[in-house]
Amino acid sequence: MQSIAIESGPVRVISSGTVISFDKNPIEITMGGSGRCKVIMIFHDEDGEGKSFVRPRVIGSRTIELTFVNFKDPLGSGNVKPIHFATIGGRTIFMNYRIYSYLDSDKTVHYTFYCSQEDSLDKVHTEGFNEWIVE
C-alpha cells in the first residue's frame, strides 16, 4: 500500500481522525518519536447554558491538558483558526478540532494536527490561547 501525504497551504497534516471518549473519560493523544508531545482532552459540562471555552494547562515541557468546558452542542463546537500549541523536532504543531455531544453522552471529537517546516523551540506553550474561546 502506498503512503498518503496531505497538505493544506503551508502545512502538512500529520494526524486526523475521530475519537469518542469512553465512559466520559479524558482522551489522550501522543505524537512524535523522540520529541513526543501529549495532548490530554478533558470534558466538563456545567449546569445551565454557559459559554463554551477551553482551559489550557501546560504540564511539563511536552504535555498540555485541555479542559473543554460546556461543549454540549449536538451540531458541534470548535476553534475558528488552527491553534499553534507546540513544536516537535523543530516543526511547529497546529491543531483544529470539532466536538459534538448528544445530551449527557460521551463526546465525539474530530481533530486534525498539522506541522510546518519552520525551526523553533521544542516544547508546548500557551502562545495564542486567547483564540481558544469559542464564540
Q: pLDDT confidence of 68, banded at 50, 70, 90?
A: very high
More confident residue, 90 or 33: 90
d(CA 91, CA 105): 36
User: Does the pLDDT value for residue 134 go beyond 80?
Assistant: no
For residues 74 and 127, the model is more confident at 74
Q: Is the pTM of this model over 0.85?
A: no
- Residue in the structure block whose three cell numbers are 483558526: 81
Q: What pLDDT was estimated at residue 29? A: 92
What is the structure's pLDDT at 130? 45
Strand order in the sheet with 27-31: 27-31, 37-44, 63-69, 53-59
Which residue in the block uniquely carries the three cell numbers 471518549?
21
Predicted confidence at residue 99, as pLDDT, reads 96
